[in-house]
């Protein structure tokens, strides 16, 4: 149990950084895998194969993203019981995470596979790539329970402060994934579904490694037989937390789909420029995202321990770190965006470079607001608030609808550029009010 971290003690800055750093490295490895996967598929199968994988990415994000958010939400309840040192209830949450996760995953798998073709057509997937797109995403969706089991194991480990072990297993899975991609596609001459099988096999190996590690090092996480039996109140609390986080991720994905539909009306140069800008933005936002995840777990453990002053300290200091990072990003944006654009797109078109630069300069200047949104929303999840995070996500979705139907036609691409910061500002106000008006935060004691 050497990797267990009691996040209710110690200096807050050090705890946040030490918790967030392995998560950041894990996200970077995942980013590396996605780039390598695209390169292998494109080099050995062709352009249509890349299009097939890309055409399913939004669907994958919405469905698998919901399941990922669900299990992370379950783990926040685990973190609270760990913080309270109530290990019997903590084990119960692990057992119910598996029970509820398997049940939800089975329903999502069946439903998504039954309606796969209509879903792909609803996304305007070109007819010529539908067979490859369907072959790829069907394998991914059929193996959703494997993904769910990895997410449960990794989330439970993070709930007790262990972010290093999931990182190690993710690195192993990433390396194995790339190797299997080459074996299945180049060696066995499989089509695009070979990449999907490689992903699932690598995830299955990481699940086995996680389970072995938990049995050897974290036996307090191993549920007993009775821990798998549903308990009405606890199931309700866990599903409310999990569904809230899952819906939050899915709503973001749906909003992105809506925005992309508006952007597609501006022509190929704008589409290429926006794609490049989003890829650069995703790299910049990784740090803010993992600081939000750190705030969720640290707030959850301290809430469970009844240490509300430390919850507030966590939120304020995590926000401060996001502001420091945002200042660095703004500086890099003003100095190096043209070079990064050429690196991402391999293009030197002045119109594309100019559009990306314009987008990035305005967008990154508002990362200070985004930091508030990400940290406060995750911290509210950590202390069990369910309504305000969903309300903020619904505001984000409504804002993107407004952009697609009103602002973009009225202002052109400038409407897209200003849209997210405007939405962030509204979300930040809602979340800050929700956090500081929370009874437990305001009183410094756990509200009954």
Same domain? For 132 and 184 the reply is yes
Which tokens in the block code for residue 229? 């039996």
* Inside any domain, residue 109: yes
Distance CA 394, CA 405 (A): 16
Which tokens in the block code for residue 165? 């072990």
Q: Give 164-175 as a DSSP string.
A: HHHHHHHHHHHH
* Inside any domain, residue 235: no
* Inside any domain, residue 88: yes
- Which whole number is the average pLDDT over 83-90? 92
In the block, tokens 């043209």 appear at 338
Distance CA 131, CA 306 (A): 54
Return the axis-axis angle of helices 268-304 and 308-345, rounded to nearest 10°.
160
Query: Could you read off the pLDDT of 298-310 as tens digits, one per residue?
Result: 999 999 988 999 9
Among 116-120, 168-172, 432-436, name the one with the lowest average pLDDT. 116-120
Among 43-52, 270-279, 290-299, 356-365, name the one with the lowest average pLDDT. 43-52
Same domain? For 275 and 226 the reply is no
Same domain? For 196 and 79 the reply is yes
Q: Any idea what DSSP says for residue 377?
A: H
Q: Decide: 245 and 68 in contact? Cβ < 8 Å.
A: no
pLDDT band of residue 1 (cuts 50, 70, 90) is very low
Distance CA 439, CA 213 (A): 39
Query: Could you read off the pLDDT of 99-138 as tens digits, one per residue?
Result: 999 999 899 999 989 988 888 877 666 777 788 888 888 8
Helix (H) or strand (E) holding 51: helix 47-55
Radius of gyration over every alpha carbon of the chain, rounded to an integer in angstroms: 22
**Maximum C-alpha span of the chain:** 64
pLDDT higher than 80, residue 58: no
Same domain? For 186 and 93 the reply is yes
Which tokens in the block code for residue 210? 């996680």
Query: Which domain covers residue 373, as residue numbers?
Result: 267-443
Distance CA 71, CA 152 (A): 6
**Count of domains forming the chain:** 2
Same domain? For 413 and 272 the reply is yes
Same domain? For 286 and 183 the reply is no
Distance CA 448, CA 437 (A): 15
Could you tell me the pTM of the whole model? 0.82
pLDDT band of residue 275 (cuts 50, 70, 90) is confident
Same domain? For 299 and 214 the reply is no
């Amino acid at each position: 149990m050497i990797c267990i971290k009691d996040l209710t003690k110690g200096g807050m800055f050090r705890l946040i950084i030490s918790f967030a750093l392995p998560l950041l490295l894990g996200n970077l490895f995942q980013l590396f895998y996605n780039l390598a996967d695209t390169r292998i598929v494109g080099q050995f199968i062709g352009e249509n194969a890349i299009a097939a994988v890309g055409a399913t990415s939004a669907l994958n994000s919405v469905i698998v993203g919901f399941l990922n958010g669900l299990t992370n939400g379950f783990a926040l309840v685990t973190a609270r019981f760990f913080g309270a040192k109530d290990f019997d209830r903590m084990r119960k949450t692990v057992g119910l995470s598996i029970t509820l996760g398997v049940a939800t995953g089975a329903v999502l798998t069946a439903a998504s596979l039954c309606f796969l073709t209509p879903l792909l057509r609803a996304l305007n997937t070109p007819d010529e790539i539908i067979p490859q797109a369907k072959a790829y995403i069907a394998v991914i969706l059929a193996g959703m329970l494997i993904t769910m089991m990895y997410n449960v194991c990794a989330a439970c480990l993070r709930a007790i402060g262990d972010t290093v072990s999931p990182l190690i297993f993710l690195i192993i899975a990433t390396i194995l994934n790339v190797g299997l991609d080459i074996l299945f596609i180049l060696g066995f001459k499989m089509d695009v579904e070979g990449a999907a099988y490689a992903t699932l096999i690598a995830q299955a190996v990481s699940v086995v490694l996680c389970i072995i590690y938990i049995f050897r090092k974290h036996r307090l996480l191993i549920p007993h037989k009775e821990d798998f039996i549903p308990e009405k109140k606890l199931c309700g609390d866990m599903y409310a937390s999990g569904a809230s986080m899952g819906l939050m991720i899915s709503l973001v994905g749906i909003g992105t789909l809506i925005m992309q539909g508006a952007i597609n009306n501006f022509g190929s140069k704008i589409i290429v420029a926006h794609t490049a800008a989003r890829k650069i933005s995703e790299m910049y936002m990784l740090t803010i995202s993992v600081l939000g995840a750190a705030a969720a777990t640290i707030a959850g453990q301290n809430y469970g321990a009844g240490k509300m002053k430390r919850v507030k300290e966590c939120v304020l200091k995590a926000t401060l770190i996001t502001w420091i990072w945002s200042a660095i990003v703004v500086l890099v944006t003003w100095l190096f965006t043209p070079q990064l654009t050429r690196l991402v797109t391999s293009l030197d078109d002045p119109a594309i470079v100019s559009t990306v630069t314009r987008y990035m300069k305005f967008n990154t200047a508002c990362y200070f607001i985004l930091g508030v949104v990400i940290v406060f929303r995750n911290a509210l999840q950590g202390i069990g608030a369910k309504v305000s995070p969903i309300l903020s996500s619904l505001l984000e979705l409504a804002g993107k609808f407004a952009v697609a139907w009103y602002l973009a036609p009225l202002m052109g691409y400038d409407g897209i550029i200003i849209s997210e910061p405007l939405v962030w500002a509204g979300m930040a106000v809602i979340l800050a009010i929700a956090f500081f008006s929370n009874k437990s935060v305001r009183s410094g004691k756990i509200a009954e």
